[in-house]
Amino acid sequence: MNLYLRYFDQETLVNTVDEAIDFLAGIDEIGMNPVLESDIRDYAASDVFYPKRYKVRPRIYFIIIKTEAATMQDFKEKKAVRPVDVGGRDRNASPAVARLNEINPGWYEGAIDFKRVLLVPGTGKFQYRDAHFVARVKAESGIDCYNRIVEHLQERVDERSQFPSAKGKNFKFFYLGQAK
């Protein structure tokens, strides 16, 4: 596992943690110390693969990224990107999106949290309020369930109400079974 380090326009790709610490020690603004060195060693030894950023001063950071790229050119061209196993599904679709588009005709229960526009009686002004709506619908897929619920609500609430994306955390659906 290699490490890519970057501080403004200074960047490097190193093979060991010691090389990374030497690179950072060569930058006076970073101020390498035993605590920072220990934290970098812990990050390199961990199973974590997301980038790590370290604060140098307010709004100024340097980053470290674990990579399998052998050269800087490979890293820049993203040739060593870790493959994600999605179990035979479309590699570009996340598991939640794949489940959302999966065709399975029957009854679904969908729950949606949305922003509903309501009139405030005392002032005569309108305001957004969080609303929760649950319905059981006959649909072909999760996305069809979402579309049917939103169509139903759009006919009954103010047109300025805001509905979340079907892919987000504010829409959940459950397959209940085959339609008779």
Per-residue pLDDT reduced to its tens digit, 53-90:
998 888 899 999 998 888 888 888 877 665 544 444 45
Q: Which of 7, 176, 29 is nearest to 106 (CA)?
A: 176
**Whole-structure pTM value:** 0.50
Q: How confident is the model at residue 105 (pLDDT cuts 50, 70, 90)?
A: very high
Q: How confident is the model at residue 12 (pLDDT cuts 50, 70, 90)?
A: very high
Cα 123 to Cα 117, 126, 127, 134, distances in angstroms: 14, 8, 11, 30
The CA-CA-CA angle for residues 158, 132, 130, to 5°, reads: 65
The whole-chain average pLDDT of the chain stands at 87
Cβ contact 44:24 at 8 Å = no
Give pLDDT, residue 96.
67
Q: Would the pLDDT of 6 be above 70? A: yes
Q: How far apart are CA 165 and CA 177, in angstroms?
A: 24
Cα 60 to Cα 8, 53, 55, 56, 167, distances in angstroms: 9, 10, 6, 5, 34
